[in-house]
Amino acid sequence: MLVLRRYHFFLFILLFLGCVAELSAQSRADSVLVRLKSQALFPLFEDGTSPWVMVKDIEMEGNKITRYGIITREMVFGEGDSLSLNELLHRMEESRENLLNTSLFNFVEMDLDLTAFPAVKVKVLLVERWYLWPFPILELGDRNINEWLGNPGLSRMNYGMYLVWDNFRGRRERIKLLLKTGYRHLYTLSYSKPYFNAAKTLGWGMEAGISQSRELAYMTLKNRQQFLKLADDFAYRNRYIQLGLDYRPAIRNTHSFRLGYNAWAFADTLLSLNPRFSPEGAPETSFLSLSWEFKNDFRDLRAYPLKGHYFDFRISRFGFGLLKNEEMDLTTFQTSYRKFWEMSPRWYFAAGANAKLSQGVTDVYFNQQGLGFMGDLVRGYENYVIDGQHFLVMKSNLKFALVPQRTGRIGFIPWEHFGIIHYAFYLNAFADLGYVADKHFRDGNFLNNTWLGGTGIGLDFVTYYDKVFRTEFSVNRQGEAGFFFHVIAPI
C-alpha cells in the first residue's frame, strides 16, 4: 500500500498535463538575444559589428498591480542609456531573468521596437501571478515527506488557515498570517518591505509568533528522532519576535541582518528524558540572537537553476548574557557555493558544497541541527537525522531535459494567472558525499563521525509559481535503497 501511495503524485501530474491544450515548444534557451539576432535584426549583424543604440523608452504591458519602479529596479539598463545593440540584448535577457526571480510574474518577455533606429524602444510584456492566497492548511508535521510516510497518520498533520498577500500595494511588500493547529500549533504574523529609501537599496521586515506542540523529538537514537507525546500538556512553548534589515547595493548582492528574541519553556517530562535538551537542563530559557548573511546570486532562475553560480555566508550568534535565564552561548558559521553549467542545449551539470561550524556551548540538543533537515542532507539518508556541531556536504547532478520548458494554456481556466502555464521534465543522475563531526550525540548513532555517500537517479517536474516536484531512487553507502520525494531543487 505504501508503494502505491508513492506513485499518486505521478498520476496527478499525468492527469494535469492531460488538461493542457495549445502547447508550444518554446524552451528557456529561446532567449531574446537568439530571437532578435536570427530574425528581426539579422541584417544589422551581417558585417560582424554591433551598432550603437540609445534606449529612448521602456514600455510596460501587463503590470496591472506591480508598480513601474519595482520593475525597473530589476533591470540592468534604463531610459537614456547608449550602448551597443549586442550589449543591450544581453542586458535585456539578464533583466528578464531578474524579473522572473522576483516571484512576481509567471512570464516575462522583452521585445525591441526599431522604428526610430538608432533610438529604440524596449517593450516589457508581463503576466503577473496571483498574489492573495487565503487557503486552508493541511500539511505534514514531520521534517519531510519521507519521514511522515514511515509513520503516516492524521495525528501527525497540521491544519488551520494561511493568508499570504504578496506584492501588497504593488510594491513587493508581503503580509503573512498563519494560524496552525494539530500536530504543531503555530500562530505568526509577518510583514516585509523590500525598499524604503529612494535608491531602493534598503528594506526591512518583522515577524512575531507563538509555537507550541504536544509532541517533540527529545533525542536521536540510531540516527532516528525519538518523540515524546503528552496528552494534557505541551512538550514545549516558544514565543518569538524578529526584526530584519536588508541591504541590496547591487541586483546580485544582498546583505541581511536579523535581530531576534526567543522565550522557550519545556515540559518536565521532556527534561527528565534528556537533561541536555535545554541549556543546563533549565525548564525555561530566553535569549537574543543576531545574524548577518551575504548572498551573491548569479543563477538564471532561483527556483530551478540551470546556469550561473551562487554563494552565501552566514554568521549567527545565540545568547549575549543580557537577559535573565539567558544560558545560550552559541555561534554558528555556515556557507554554501553552487555552480551550474549548460553543457549542450539539453544537457546540464551542477555541483555544490555546504558547510557549517559551531562554537560555544554545543551540547544543547534543541538548537543543534546537523544533516537531515530541508536541503541539508546527503541523498539516500532522508530517513535519518545526523546531529553534530560541524558538517560538510558535497552534491553533484547531471541533468537531461526530457521535456524542455514548454508553455501552454489550460482551456477551462479563463484567468491568465492560472490558465497560462509552463512546465518541464528533467532526468537526473546524482552523487552526494557528506560528513558530520559530533562530540556530544554520537553514542548510539552510527552515522555520526563517518563519511556518508549516496547516488541514484531521479525525475524532476518544474512548473509555474516556482513549484518543483522531485522523485528519486537512491542507494546510500550502507546499501540501503529507496524512493524519496522532494519539493525543492536538488542543488
Is there a cis peptide before residue 279, judged by omega within 30 degrees of 0? no
Q: What is the pLDDT of residues 161-218, one digit of tens each?
A: 889 999 999 999 999 999 988 777 889 999 999 999 999 999 999 999 999 988 889 9
Q: What is the pLDDT of residues 290-316, one digit of tens each?
A: 999 999 999 999 999 999 999 999 999
User: Are residues 225 and 102 both part of a single domain?
Assistant: no
User: Are residues 189 and 98 both part of a single domain?
Assistant: no
User: Are residues 271 and 348 both part of a single domain?
Assistant: yes
Give the confidence band of 355 by pLDDT, cuts at 50, 70, 90. Answer: very high
Give CA–CA dist 13/33, Å, rounded: 33
How large is the average pLDDT for residues 256-263?
97
Q: Is residue 257 part of a domain?
A: yes
User: Are residues 106 and 208 both part of a single domain?
Assistant: no
Q: Give the domain-ending residue among 104, 128, 152.
A: 128
- Judge whether residue 38 has pLDDT over 90: no
Task: Find the radius of gyration of the CA atoms of the chain.
Answer: 25
Give me 340's grid cell: 551550474
* pLDDT value at residue 28: 38
User: Are residues 457 and 405 both part of a single domain?
Assistant: yes
How large is the average pLDDT for residues 213-235?
89
Quote the percentage of the chain above a pLDDT of 90.
66
* pLDDT value at residue 418: 87
- Residue 104 φ then ψ, to 5°: -95, -20
Least confident of 1-15, 68-82, 471-485: 1-15
Q: Is residue 293 part of a domain?
A: yes
Secondary structure in 3-state letters for 305-346: CCCEEEEEEEEEEECCCCCCCCCCCEEEEEEEEEEEEEEECC
User: Are residues 105 and 141 both part of a single domain?
Assistant: no
Q: Give the domain-ending residue among 128, 160, 175.
A: 128
How large is the average pLDDT for residues 341-361?
95
C-alpha to C-alpha distances, 330 to 49, 286, 343, nearest whole angstrom: 59, 13, 43
CATH number assigned to the domain comprising residue 282 = 2.40.160.50
Strands (E), 9-67: 20-24, 52-61
User: Are residues 404 and 464 both part of a single domain?
Assistant: yes
Q: Is residue 247 part of a domain?
A: yes
305 CB burial (10 A radius; 0-12, 13-18, 19+): buried
Q: Is residue 25 part of a domain?
A: no
Q: Is residue 441 part of a domain?
A: yes
Q: What is the pLDDT of residues 471-486, one digit of tens each?
A: 999 999 999 999 999 9
Give the confidence band of 404 by pLDDT, cuts at 50, 70, 90. Answer: very high
CATH number assigned to the domain comprising residue 96 = 3.10.20.310
First to last CA, the chain: 31
User: Are residues 120 and 138 both part of a single domain?
Assistant: no
* pLDDT value at residue 257: 99
Give me 443's grid cell: 553514542
Q: What is the pLDDT of residues 77-119, one digit of tens each?
A: 999 999 999 999 999 999 999 999 999 999 999 999 988 888 9
User: Are residues 116 and 246 both part of a single domain?
Assistant: no
C-alpha to C-alpha distances, 374 to 159, 301, 393, 468, 475, nearest whole angstrom: 20, 20, 13, 14, 19
* Residue position matching grid coordinates 553507502: 477
**Number of folded domains that form the chain:** 2
Give the confidence band of 146 by pLDDT, cuts at 50, 70, 90. Answer: low
* pLDDT value at residue 142: 60
When the pLDDT of each residue in the chain is averaged and rounded to a whole number, the result is: 87
**Confidence (pTM):** 0.85
* pLDDT value at residue 9: 39
* pLDDT value at residue 140: 65
Q: Is residue 207 part of a domain?
A: yes
Q: Is residue 22 part of a domain?
A: no
Q: Give the domain-ending residue among 105, 128, 151.
A: 128
Range of the domain at 310: 132-486
Q: What is the pLDDT of residues 314-338, one digit of tens each?
A: 999 999 989 887 888 999 999 999 9
- Judge whether residue 371 has pLDDT over 50: yes
Q: Is residue 4 part of a domain?
A: no
User: Are residues 371 and 243 both part of a single domain?
Assistant: yes
User: Are residues 456 and 386 both part of a single domain?
Assistant: yes
How large is the average pLDDT for residues 454-470?
95
Of the two residues 417 and 265, the one the predictor is more confident about is 265
Give the confidence band of 16 by pLDDT, cuts at 50, 70, 90. Answer: very low
- Judge whether residue 2 has pLDDT over 80: no
User: Are residues 266 and 202 both part of a single domain?
Assistant: yes
